[in-house]
Amino acid sequence: MKKSLIALAVLGAFAGAASAQSSVTLFGIADVNIQQIKGDGNGSVTRLHNSGYNSARWGIRGEEDLGGGLKAGFWLEGAFGPDDGSLGTASTNNQSAASTVLFGRRATVSLMGGFGEVRLGRDLTPDYNGIASADPFGSNGSAQSLAYTCQGLSQAALPGAACVTNVRASNSITYFLPSNLGGLYGSAMYAFGENASNAGSTKNDGKHIGARLGFAGAGLDASVFYGKTEYFTAGDWKRTGIAGSYTFGAFKPMAFWAKTEIGTQERKDWGLGLAATFGPHLVRAQYNNYDVDATNNDGKLFGIGYAYNMSRRTILYANYGRVDNDGTGTSFNVGRSPTTLGGASTGMEFGIRHSF
């Protein structure tokens, strides 16, 4: 009996030592709001919605210390709608229409060390991260930038009729520079379309390449970025741009310029934003301009928002966004498209975000 107890104690000690070198975390965000969206000539919708401050999500992540400065890690993160319990969607090959998936926000395995990080799986693209760094609303809610989207550009010839790599890419390999380079940071991504070699002219469809290079220090954060996904029929999807922000005291102004292309179509965007923090209070505002070449379908967005931090994990917020279409355009919208030529689209929400 004593030997059994001693053996159990020794095994427990070894198990404790092993677990001390590893970590697994369950995490998530529940974000629900009451939202109203309108489109000129197209009525309005009042609904319970989600993800007005942060994207609602849940996930599991972990790391293991391999010794010698090496670590292995995994990150599994899925979107869900806390207003109705639905799961998120994703394109699994960067070309077909999105389908319901469990971990569409991120599903990666990493090896990290003094060399940086090599990350494999589905993840945010470098060019998206570039634009997002200059959006005070973080691509959430009615006041978010529309520079992430392909609004104003015809997507009918694209596989799945959507810009499926404008935020994330599946089947990717990404390299991140180490964090000890004096403020210099960067990443480069290659994603497979996974088509057969005998698929003819479409064999490279869904192949994505992207890169971002930047500097962060003394309050400044600036980067340049590029992304490209190949599509034979529609023509390649491309995005190029520059973004930056500067933090001084309570204020963080930011700006970006970006060009999005689908085949011969081209849209140039620029935006100015501001985030100001006063104790538990956060005020955000931005203006974006979208210029579609060779058309009168341009757009202009104004967004403003307020958030109150009730605690480290719970936030109350309110956002308002309005986008105006120029000429005869109806493409730009913040959730509900106008049917009136040159009409406006507006949205507002009041919600609560809780992280865990």
What would the pLDDT profile of 118-154 be if each residue is shown by its tens digit? 999 999 999 999 999 999 999 999 999 999 999 999 9
Residue reference for tokens 């899925």: 78
What digits encode the pLDDT tens for the residues 289-348? 999 998 878 999 999 999 999 999 999 999 999 999 999 999 999 999 999 999 999 999
Q: Which domains does the chain have, with CATH numbers?
A: 40-355 (2.40.160.10)
Secondary structure of residue 253 in the 3-state scheme: strand
Cα separation of 11 and 92, whole Å? 43
Region label for 325, one of left (φ > 0), alpha (ψ between -120 and 50) or beta (otherwise): beta
Q: What would the mean pLDDT of 266-293 be, rounded to a whole number? A: 98
Q: pTM of this prediction?
A: 0.92
If you count them, how many residues does the chain have?
356
CB atoms inside a 10 Å sphere around CB 155 = 18
Q: List C-alpha distances in Å: 229 to 55, 165, 225.
A: 25, 7, 14
For residue 13, the 8-state DSSP code is H
Residue 3 phi, psi dihedral angles, 5° rounding: -65, -40
Q: What is the average pLDDT value for the chain, to the nearest integer?
A: 94
Residue among 170, 265, 177 nearest 223 (CA): 177
With cut-offs at 50, 70 and 90, classify the pLDDT of residue 9.
very low
Q: What token pair was written down for 298?
A: 């341009």
Q: Which pairs count as long-range contacts for 298-301, CB under 8 Å and 24+ apart, including other chains?
A: 298/152, 298/325, 298/326, 298/327, 298/329, 299/146, 299/151, 299/152, 299/323, 299/324, 299/325, 299/326, 299/329, 299/331, 299/332, 300/324, 300/326, 301/145, 301/146, 301/332, 301/334
Place of tokens 């009729």: 161
